[in-house]
Amino acid sequence: MTRVPRQDWIRRFAPRPRARLRLVCFAHAGGAASAFHGWAELLPEWIELVTVQYPGRQDRYGEPIPAGIPELAEEILRGAEDIAGFDRPTAFFGHSMGALVAFEVARRLQWRSSSPPAALFVSACKAPAARTPRGLTFEENEIRDYLGYLGGSGAALLENEELWEFAFPVICGDLRMTEAYRYAPGAPLTCPVVSIAGDRDPAVTPDDAALWKDYTTGEADARVLRGGHFYFEESLPGLIAILTERLTRLVRH
């Protein structure tokens, strides 16, 4: 498989080379690194926000989307060495599909690296073994209905045919990965895992998110914020507070 250069994978909207800790963010299905634009300004200066840019979108438009989430995790590890955290503690945050990607990257790092993740934040995502296929056929009208069901500002794509034409293949490719995902049992993580859910999310209940506690031997915590599947669109300060509080504890200890 052709290796993708590291600079194609990583985005830093506010570089902080002296930060004490790195937070790597993984976007939802159809999402891009820009989903986290502006978050860095809300975090303290000692946290550097790093985002992963998946193939097939924005400046990587036209690149093939991997066949599955495990394959995507492997490509990220090969193409973005600095998420391994060799120079400073590194935590992961993933939203929806991004939570699965972050989890699969985290478990591979734990197996292979002397610098495993310092913490994993999983957002709006069912626990890996609890997931079941939705039976999507990937017809255009079905995908439109599904995005409307999830809600959030991204549903505005449904009203703009030009944007939809570009976004539809990417959304389909990502949803194919999530539909095909099957958890492969293995050793649990050892880092803290914090699950976060919106109290009005139609797809992932707080009880669903709480099952992530079974995937670590470390501390597990479940949080609920106001909102739907994209709860951070109305509760971003609350999410930033959760991230900062947990990462502060990591740095202190």
Q: Which residues are catalytic?
A: 96, 229
CA neighbor of 126 nearest in space, from 152, 103, 144: 103
| Strand (E) or helix (H) holding 10 | strand 10-11
| Residue 77 DSSP code | H
| In the block, residue with structure tokens 């502060």 | 248
Query: Reduced to 3 states, what is the DSSP secondary structure of residue 32?
Result: coil
Task: Name the packing angle between helices 97-112 and 161-180 (round to 10°).
Answer: 50
In the chain the first and final C-alpha atoms are separated, in Å, by 40
Residues 20 and 210: their CA atoms lie apart, in Å, by 29
Q: Are 29 and 171 in contact (CB under 8 A)?
A: yes
